[in-house]
Amino acid sequence: MRVFKHFKEFKMDVLKEVGNIGAGNAATALSRLLNKPIDMAVPKVQILRFEEVSDKVGGSEQVVVAIFLRVEGDAPGNLFFILSPKSAKSLLRRLAGIKVANDESFNDMEISALNEIGNILSGSYLSALADLTKLTMSPTVPSLAIDMAGAILSYGLLQYGEMGDDALLIDTTFLEGNHEVEGQFFLIPDPESFAIIFESLGVPFEND
Amino acid sequence: MIEQNVVKVAMADLNVIKQFGLIRTSGLGSCIGLTMYDPILHLAGMAHVMLPSSEIARDGEINVAKYADTALPALLERLQKMGSSKSNIVAKMAGGSQMFAFGGQNDTMRIGPRNTESCRTKLQELGIPLIGEDTGGNYGRTIELDCSTGILYIRSVQMGAKEL
């Protein structure tokens, strides 16, 4: 994606802010769910080789819990909410009303709850983004997978596959006070969406 | 312990290995890990194919390893350049799963089955027999081809280990 290589720092900052606002809203939602403060790291906006994208969560073979949804509307893209299995278990334990087994596997109840949490969080992420940009962004029904990071994240890269060998990723990490729940949001806008996002925010978009 | 020679193949990449060691690619979802093996020369090649056809490519210079229709001929050529004769080469493949199920979905989400189909067709065109296949499902795979034996080892989180 040669186009992105030339994004000026200012534009990267704009995208950071996009991640900040989306994930900030999601973190607030999570904080309400858990009734605990949630910290958030400064978003990272990076152009990565396909292979490097899964390195962000521990390598392509690392098992992760991922909630994936496709963003449709004016500025399509892919949104992932990613947790380690350990974090996912801690998150479930903190929510009232669910008995959580100690083993590695997830039962139907736990998966359903995670799906719902993912739904709420990604919904808040997107609605903050839509408010900010005044663009229509509607999420598909989220889908959950517990599997190798490489296998999961490759779905977010398909749109880039047609153009080049790297993708632009807006990555925001948040954690609960004592680090027991740590999650990541990856927003990977489709290549065509950048011009639309920038324009909606009043940033002139040229390919320079 | 004898240190084994392991060659890694990244997403949208291809590589070859000769005589000893393993060639591997990890985290295959909808992508296909396609291997070609020459049992006479103990020559193994692997491609991590991401998309079914280069027709959709929008950049001028394409990465041939990324598309099924270009990666397979490129891999074959690499093996032939290393002295392999086409009639000895056999293929195996794994991956092409559908990780996420969305109702009434567009083609992008069906990319796994499309990749699988495209690889099969291309192998037929090239006249290379497909002697082992582990495709489909809704889980990720890591694969490793042993260059000295031609055995393809497949690991997945949900389904455990398997060999072809």
C-beta of residue A22 within 8 angstroms of C-beta of residue A128: yes
C-beta of residue A79 within 8 angstroms of C-beta of residue A123: no
Residue B69: pLDDT over 80: yes
Q: Is residue B75 very low, low, confident or very high in pLDDT (cuts 50, 70, 90)?
A: very high
Residue A18 lies in a domain: yes
Of A77, A74, A78, A52, nearest in space to A66 by CA: A78
Look at strands B90-95 and B130-135 and give their pairing.
parallel
Q: How many CB pairs under 8 A join A and B?
A: 102
C-beta of residue B157 within 8 angstroms of C-beta of residue B151: no
Looking at residue A112, which CATH number applies to its domain?
Answer: 3.40.1550.10
- Domain that includes residue A112, residue range: 2-194
Considering its fold, how many domains does chain A have in total?
Answer: 1
B58 in reach of chain A (CB within 8 A)? yes
Task: Indicate yes or no: CB of A150 within 8 angstroms of CB of B157.
Answer: no
The pLDDT value given to residue A208? 47
The pLDDT value given to residue B152? 94
Q: Is residue B106 very low, low, confident or very high in pLDDT (cuts 50, 70, 90)?
A: low
Picking from B50, B97, B100, the nearest residue to A161 by CB comes out as: B50
Handedness of CA A88, A93, A98, A100 (dihedral sign): positive
The pLDDT value given to residue B100? 81
Residue B105: pLDDT over 70: no
Residue A28 to chain B, least CA–CA distance (Å): 27
Residue A146 to chain B, least CA–CA distance (Å): 8
Residue A28 lies in a domain: yes
Buried b (16+ CB within 10 A) or exposed e, A57-87: beebbbbbbbbbbbbeebbbbbbbbbbbbeb
Q: Is A60 helix (H, G, I), strand (E, B) or coil?
A: coil
Angle between helices A85-94 and A108-133 (to 10 degrees): 90
Residue A206 lies in a domain: no
Best mutation target among A3, A51, A146, A190 (most B Cβ atoms within 10 Å) is A51
> Which tokens belong to B88?
């000895």
CB-CB neighbours of A33 under 10 Å: 16
B2 in reach of chain A (CB within 8 A)? no
Residue B104: pLDDT over 70: no
H/E stretch holding B163 reads strand B160-163
Residue A103 lies in a domain: yes
C-alpha count within 13 angstroms, C-beta hemisphere, residue A56: 30
Q: What is the mean pLDDT of chain A?
A: 84
Distance CA A81, CA B160 (A): 25
Picking from B51, B57, B100, the nearest residue to A68 by CB comes out as: B100
- The per-residue pLDDT for range A82-111, each reduced to its tens digit, is 999 888 888 888 875 677 777 778 888 888
Best mutation target among B26, B109, B138 (most A Cβ atoms within 10 Å) is B26
Residue A12 lies in a domain: yes
Residue A169: pLDDT over 80: yes
Residue A200 lies in a domain: no
Q: What is the pTM of this model?
A: 0.86
Residue with the bigger pLDDT between A194 and B93: it is B93
Residue A35 lies in a domain: yes
B20 in reach of chain A (CB within 8 A)? no
Residue A154 lies in a domain: yes
Residue B128: pLDDT over 90: yes
Domains of chain B: 6-163 (3.30.1330.200)
> Which tokens belong to A14?
């704009």
Q: Kindly list the catalytic residues of B.
A: 31
Task: Indicate yes or no: CB of A161 within 8 angstroms of CB of B51.
Answer: yes
